[in-house]
Chain A
Amino acid sequence: MGESPFPLIAVTSAVAGLVAGFVMHRSDFCVTAMFRDLFLVRDFFLLRMLVLLVVVSMLAFELGRAGGLLGPYPFPLLGPGSLATLIGGVLFGIGMVLAGGCVVGTLYKLGAGSVVSAVAFLGLLAGSALYAEWHPWWSAFAQATRFGPAITLPQAFDIAPALLILPLAALGAVYLYRSQRRGLLTRPGYAAGHIPPWQTALTLSAVGFVSWLLIGMPLGITTSYAKLGATVESLFWPGHVAGLAYFQAQGLNYTPPFAAGPVSGGAGPQLDAIAAIQYPLIVGIILGAALSALLVKEWRLHWRIPPRHYASALLGGLLLGAAARMVPGCNIWHLWGGVPILAVQSLLFLLGILPGAWLGSRLLVRYVVR
């Protein structure tokens, strides 16, 4: 051994991204829509798909942990819960609805040729990098409003994870079984090459499992938005970027499953473990969605839309990017990765995005879509 762990990490991430981008485009598996449509049109269908993803991941992650396949447990980069995460979640919820997609949804839409999502992407980069300006203050606030040292609920109650996770998963399974009996897990899809969302939910759960197995954590990309933003910013103001504490910090320090020694990384512009894990995932999702759209001949740029849509995407993207750093994390990281292991931060994030998405929906119908 003693070889670099980065080739395995980068290749796994790239393949995970390609698969995720492809199936998300085919099913339009948009996490923003799951919460937004709940408030806008009382449509619970997509949210059921999220429940399916979470319940299957709960079982898979718990079996993987108990069987010694998945480590480290809990996975790195999760912190203790604080009021900061809850507030960040509310802002994230507003931002994702105004941007027309979350941190990952924006990527697959951008890959499929959405100009408005490309604008949201630029807002995301800028918002993520801007966060560095008030990071010291926000980080102190998070520290001061911490609920306790526990990373997961089972840790907080000091019980074995299975005792909490398995009953909850069973409850979820009963709900899904009853929904399935009533025909609520499928609905006709008329789009070319449509993949039923339940199949995408299962695929994404499997992708998350493989990511944790080979890389040591489920899918996550938000830190590299700040990293990419910092890279651009340092072309213009290198001195300023070098002086910001947030871009100096090395938040990630862990030993990947198939590595001989520890690796580290942070949000600064340098190429490190964060870049190896997350950059290939971002590129993979964009390319996977682009490939999917090209294959069904739907890759087409539509840019003649009302200017207020661009304004909404840009402002929503800025808010979303900044909020993703304040949480820290995103829908994919927390809902597909953290919630299945009952991470406190992830549950607080979920609590926050509910009122956030409601507020965002009100703003959207009032000022943007009319």
Chain B
Amino acid sequence: MESVTSIHLDISGQICPSCLLLTLKELNQHAAAVRAGQTEIVVTTDDRQATATIPDAVGKMGYAAEVTRADAGYRIRVCAKR
């Protein structure tokens, strides 16, 4: 099985829209690896808005996003589209 590198970002409590902007920045830096399925970006955040804007934004760019509950916030996983 191929191993996937996870890049973890904790963006809790920061000024809006840090979560969306920093996720997109990270995604752009690792675009090829994420698209190839070798890397995924996992964001921990308390920003409710990001749970809608990140899937929307990365979806338009051709990636997939998955939102799960984590602690008192959310974990958003951005990866290649299957």
20 residue pairs bridging A and B, Cβ less than 8 Å apart: A25-B48, A28-B48, A30-B49, A33-B49, A40-B17, A43-B53, A101-B16, A115-B13, A187-B56, A190-B55, A191-B67, A192-B69, A300-B71, A302-B13, A305-B12, A305-B14, A305-B15, A306-B14, A309-B15, A365-B21
Please name all residues of chain B whose beta carbon is closer than 8 Å to the beta carbon of A14 when the two chains form the complex.
none
Q: Chain A: interface secondary structure?
A: loop
Please tell me if B52 contacts chain A, counting CB pairs below 8 Å. yes
Please name all residues of chain A whose beta carbon is closer than 8 Å to the beta carbon of B39 when the two chains form the complex.
none
Please tell me if A163 contacts chain B, counting CB pairs below 8 Å. no
Instruction: Give min CB distance, A206 to chain B, whole Å.
Output: 23
Chain B contacts to A: CB under 8 angstroms: 12-18, 20-22, 24, 46, 48-49, 51-53, 55-57, 67, 69, 71-74
Please name all residues of chain B whose beta carbon is closer than 8 Å to the beta carbon of A25 when the two chains form the complex.
48
**Pick the contact of B72 from A194, A297, A313 — CB < 8 Å?**
A297
Is the beta-carbon distance between B14 and A116 smaller than 8 angstroms? yes
Instruction: Give min CB distance, B68 to chain A, whole Å.
Output: 8
Q: Chain B: interface secondary structure?
A: mixed
Please name all residues of chain B whose beta carbon is closer than 8 Å to the beta carbon of A40 when the two chains form the complex.
17, 21
Residue among A101, A191, A194, A364 facing the most chain B CB atoms (10 A cut-off): A191
Chain A residues 80-112 with CB under 8 Å of chain B are 100-101
The answer for the CA separation of A194 and B50 in the assembled complex, in Å, is 12
Chain A residues 306-346 with CB under 8 Å of chain B are 306, 309, 312-313
Instruction: Give min CB distance, A213 to chain B, whole Å.
Output: 31
Nearest CB to that of A193 among chain B residues?
A: B48
Please name all residues of chain B whose beta carbon is closer than 8 Å to the beta carbon of A191 when the two chains form the complex.
48, 51-52, 67, 74
Report the interface size class on chain A. Answer: 35 or more
Please name all residues of chain B whose beta carbon is closer than 8 Å to the beta carbon of A300 when the two chains form the complex.
46, 71-73
Please tell me if A32 contacts chain B, counting CB pairs below 8 Å. yes
Please name all residues of chain B whose beta carbon is closer than 8 Å to the beta carbon of A73 when the two chains form the complex.
none
Is the beta-carbon distance between B15 and A100 smaller than 8 angstroms? yes
Please name all residues of chain B whose beta carbon is closer than 8 Å to the beta carbon of A30 when the two chains form the complex.
16, 49
The answer for the CA separation of A297 and B55 in the assembled complex, in Å, is 22
Please name all residues of chain A whose beta carbon is closer than 8 Å to the beta carbon of B57 when the two chains form the complex.
41, 43
Chain A residues 269-300 with CB under 8 Å of chain B are 297-300
Is the beta-carbon distance between A45 and B72 smaller than 8 angstroms? no
Please name all residues of chain B whose beta carbon is closer than 8 Å to the beta carbon of A41 when the two chains form the complex.
20, 24, 53, 57
The answer for the CA separation of A115 and B12 in the assembled complex, in Å, is 11
